Structure 1
Amino acid sequence: MKGILYTGSELTDLVSFARLPSYLQAFLREQNGVVAYFGGLHLRGCVQEPTWHALHTAWQSETAFWRTYAHVLETDIPFGQDCVGNQFLLRGDAVLFLDTETGELADLEVDFKHFLFGVEKFPLDALGMEPLRAFQQRGGKLEPGQLLSVVPPLCIKSEVKPTLKPEPAAERLRFLAGFYQQIKDLPDGQNIHLKPSQD
């Protein structure tokens, strides 16, 4: 993998580790998660700290994805995410893609090994890195533990050029979960108005 910004420390969450399929255990034994492609891909590790890197936080905590998103199962393993906070999940041996704005779940029709091959070969397409590229071209840089905030959200058809800024991963994921809860029952093509955040 290229553009590595962070590599996970030693395995400290052995409870989560024990629940993983053997091929994911083998991967995490070699490298306990990583932030690669300059923030384009974050593969979580079995650690207690930092919480933004901990698989347990995404999988079993109060903010676990299956608690928020209707199509995500408790047994789905949220092993990674892209630069804007969309999730990569393992269901059995299949890698699924969760759009965290809309809650839509797509089967990528690859297993974990072939997912990594695809990312290695075509990172821009496999990871939807266009927003990150645009951010980098303006001199921006993601730090470990950050995701890219995109306003207006990518699922909204808008004439406005999106604002791109780095945000702590927990804040970004909290925003996405709240946005999904607000739009999940709206029909396609529904007009919506975004209120500016009260920072």
Structure 2
Amino acid sequence: MKGIVYTGGELTDLVSFARLPSYMQTFLREQNGVVAYFGGLHIRGCVSEPIWHSLSEAWQGEKAFWRTYDTVVETDIPFAQDCVGNQFLLRGDAVLFLDTETGELADLEVDFKHFLFGAEKFPLDALGMEPLRGFQQRGGVLQPGQLLSLFPPVCINTAQEPQAKPQAAAERLAWLADLYLQIKNLPDGQRLNLKPGQD
């Protein structure tokens, strides 16, 4: 992986580690999660701190994705996220993509190994890094523990181009969950008034 800006250090959450498939354990033994591609991909680690890097927090915590998103089940492992907070989940050996604005779930038709291979070979497309690239071209740097906040959201049909700015990962994910809960039952074409997330 290129552009590594953070690695997870020592395995401290052995309970979550024991529940993972063997290929995921092998990966996390080598590096306990990583932020790579200058923030384009964050693979969570088996740690209790920092919270933003904790696989257990995303998987079983109070704000675990299965508690909010109707398409996610408790056994789905939210092992990674992209630069804007969309999630990559393991369901069995399949990697799924969760759009955290809409709750839509797509099977990427790859396993973990091929997901990593695709990200390495085609990071811009495989990881949806266009917002990050634009942010970097304007001199922005995404720090570990941050995601890009896009406003207006990508799922909203508007003439306005989304503006990207860094936001603490927990705040960004909470804002996305709130958006999802507000729009999940609305019909297509519904008019909305949205407020940007807090800095």
TM-score (norm 1): 0.98
CA distance in 1, matches of 2:83, 2:196: 22
Residue 119 of structure 2 aligns with which residue?
119
Q: Which amino acid aligns with 2:15?
A: V
Distance 1:36 1:189 in 2: 37
Distance 2:113 2:171 in 1: 30
Q: Distance in 1 between matches of 2:137 and 2:26?
A: 36
Q: Does 1:192 align with 2:192?
A: yes
The residue aligned with 2:13 is 13
Report percent identity of matched pairs.
79
Residue 26 (structure 1) aligned with residue 23 (structure 2): no
3-state SS in 1 of match to 2:125? helix
SS of 1:71's equivalent?
Answer: coil
Quote the offset at 1:189 in angstroms: 2.2
In structure 1, the partner of 2:165 is 165
AA aligned to 2:24 is: L
Deviations 1:48-90 (A, max 9, x none): 1000000001000010000000010000000000000000000
Tell me the C-alpha RMSD between the 2 structures. 1.1
SS of residue paired to 1:45: coil
1:63 aligns with: 63
2:83 aligned with 1:83? yes
- Shift, 1:196, TM fit: 5.2
Runs of 5+ consecutive residues of structure 1 not aligned to the other structure: none
> How far off is 1:164 after superposition?
1.0
Q: Runs of at least 4 residues of structure 1 off by over 6 A?
A: none
Contact 2:152 2:196 in 1 (8 A): no
Partner Cα separation in structure 2 for residue 5 and residue 189 of structure 1: 40
Shift of 1:195: 3.5
Distance in 1 (alpha carbons) for counterparts of 2:24 and 2:91: 12
What is the aligned partner in structure 2 of residue 97 from structure 1?
97
| Paired residue type of 2:138 | R
Q: Distance in 2 between matches of 1:140 and 1:114?
A: 30
Letter in 2 for 1:27: F
Show the counterpart of 1:36. 36
What CA distance in whole angstroms lies between the structure 1 residues aligned with 2:106 and 2:85?
15
Q: CA, structure 1 residues 197+125, in 2 after alignment: closer, same or farther (shift >3 Å)?
A: closer
Q: Encode CA deviations 1:119-139: one digit per residue, 9 max, x unaligned.
A: 000000000001001111111
The change in CA–CA distance for 1:15 and 1:186 in structure 2 (over 3 A counts) is same
In the aligned structure 2, how far is the partner of 1:168 from the partner of 1:95?
A: 25
1:17 counterpart SS class? helix
SS at match of 1:115: helix
Decide whether aligned partners of structure 1 residues 29 and 151 sit closer, same or farther in structure 2, where only a CA change above 3 A counts. Answer: same
Does the C-alpha gap of structure 1 residues 189 and 78 become closer, same or farther in structure 2, counting only changes over 3 Å? same
Partner secondary structure for residue 161 of structure 1? coil
Q: 1:151 corresponds to which letter in structure 2?
A: F
2:145 is matched with: 145
Report the residue type matching 1:120 in the other structure. Answer: E
